[in-house]
Amino acid sequence: MKVYESQYDFERWYNQVKELSIESQVIQITKEQAEGMIYRGTINDKVLYETIEKAISELGGSVFAKFRRSPKDYATQSLSDENPMKIQAVRQLLTLVSHSERLVEDLNYPNPLILRKWERDIGIEFRCFICNQQLNAVSLQPNQSEQIDKDRGVISEYFNSQEIIEIFKEKIGKVLYPHCVVDVGLMMSGDGIKMKIIEINPFGKMAQSGYFSWVIDRDILFEGFAKTGKVCLRFQRE
């Protein structure tokens, strides 16, 4: 993992935006403890076991768990009717992480255990592109199945509102990262739109670009707002 990428680790940005994000807890663990969980599916430290139990309870009894990355490679292979990423007990957590090959790949890096409150519905997911502290573009995540045609205008107005542009600039661009990619969920209701920050990642070709292209749409992603005075939104491939 490059030093640049490590600057975007969860624990580096969460506290700055936690009022806009999903309630979470970070549990520091040693490399040996991580190896025990991932290689053998065990926790021999009673204090650590109880700390994880307590965190799950404090986060509402159901959590999403990850280290540097999530064990979603195992989750996609599971035949369970229940969402395998929904953790309600330590034994479930150990089963999940001990069957993930991608977590083994990350053992050479610092690996705090991150528990996030399980959100039944995070809303419609978007990827937001910030460059030089400015929100330039927003893409609907291609894996989203929601029929949002009727809401496109409202969503475009939302991301182009001064309030949201300032949130991205002041909370993230100036304080955290002048260049980054931010994944958010939008909950639509009669009371308006509520945004939650899901994840922040490095800006550049290592990040998926949604319905944009890092090559063809370079001007939009890097300086679109400066040139047009608007945040560019895409809901489908052009």
For 195-230, write each residue's pLDDT tens digit.
999 999 999 998 999 999 999 999 999 999 999 999
- Dihedral sign of CA atoms 91, 95, 98, 103 in order: negative
Given a cut of 50, whether residue 126 has pLDDT beyond it is yes
Token pair belonging to 221: 């992603």
60 and 130 in a single domain? The answer is: no
Given a cut of 90, whether residue 120 has pLDDT beyond it is no
Q: What is the DSSP string of 74-133?
A: HHTT---SS-TT-B-SHHHHHHHHTT-HHHHHTTTS---EEEEEPPS---EEEEEEEETT
Of 64, 97, 117, the domain-final residue? 117
Domain for residue 58, yes or no? yes
Q: pLDDT tens-digit profile of 161-182?
A: 999 999 999 999 998 899 999 9
Q: pLDDT tens-digit profile of 8-28?
A: 889 889 999 999 999 999 999
Task: Determine contact, residues 69/102, Cβ cutoff 8 Å.
Answer: yes
Of 102, 117, 132, the domain-final residue? 117
Pick 119 or 111 by higher pLDDT.
119
110 and 71 in a single domain? The answer is: yes
Sheet strand arrangement including 180-189: 192-201, 180-189, 124-131, 134-140, 232-234
Domain for residue 89, yes or no? yes
Average pLDDT over residues 113-126: 93
Given a cut of 80, whether residue 75 has pLDDT beyond it is no
Could you give the number of structural domains in the chain?
2
Per the structure, the complete domain to which residue 31 belongs is given by 3-7+18-117
Predicted local confidence at residue 190, as pLDDT: 82
Quote the CA–CA distance of 84 and 94 in Å, as a whole number: 12
